[in-house]
């Protein structure tokens, strides 16, 4: 049984467009893993609200449109969970325009 957590998502980019109405997070994670995006809690640095999820494709790439959209310079935390249920450490990305 697989008990090894996947590597944290990498090559992250978070872009807010359309007058702060859309935020897309892109990157790379273990193929087939479930990728989750959270707002970083500024008080203690932990994950706050879950704002998006997607599955990494056969090349490991993913795109997540967050709900709700995030303002520029918002800190986000991204994790990957493999098919065995093992979850990676967080990777951080900051939204930009």
Q: pLDDT tens-digit profile of 48-81?
A: 999 999 999 999 999 999 999 999 899 999 999 9
Q: Which domains are seen in the chain, by residue range?
A: 10-94 (2.60.40.10)
Going by C-beta distance under 8 Å and a sequence separation of 6 or more, which residues neighbour residue 81? 6, 33, 34, 36, 87, 88
Question: Which pLDDT score is estimated for 19?
Answer: 79
Confidence check: pLDDT of 97 > 80: no
Structure tokens at 52: 């998006």
Q: What is the rounded distance in angstroms from the CA atom of residue 15 to the CA atom of residue 28? A: 15
Q: How confident is the model at residue 26 (pLDDT cuts 50, 70, 90)?
A: very high
What residues are paired with 92 via a beta bridge?
Answer: 77
Structure tokens at 45: 């640095």
The pTM for the full model equals: 0.94
């Amino acid at each position: 049984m697989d008990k090894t957590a996947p590597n944290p998502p990498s090559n992250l980019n978070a872009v807010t467009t359309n007058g702060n109405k859309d935020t897309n997070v892109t990157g790379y994670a273990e193929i087939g893993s479930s990728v989750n995006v959270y707002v970083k809690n500024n008080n203690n640095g932990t994950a706050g609200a879950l704002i998006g999820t997607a599955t990494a494709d056969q090349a490991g790439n993913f795109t997540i449109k967050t709900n709700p959209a995030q303002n520029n310079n918002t800190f986000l935390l991204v994790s990957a969970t493999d098919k065995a249920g093992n979850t990676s450490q967080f990777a951080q990305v900051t939204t930009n325009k």
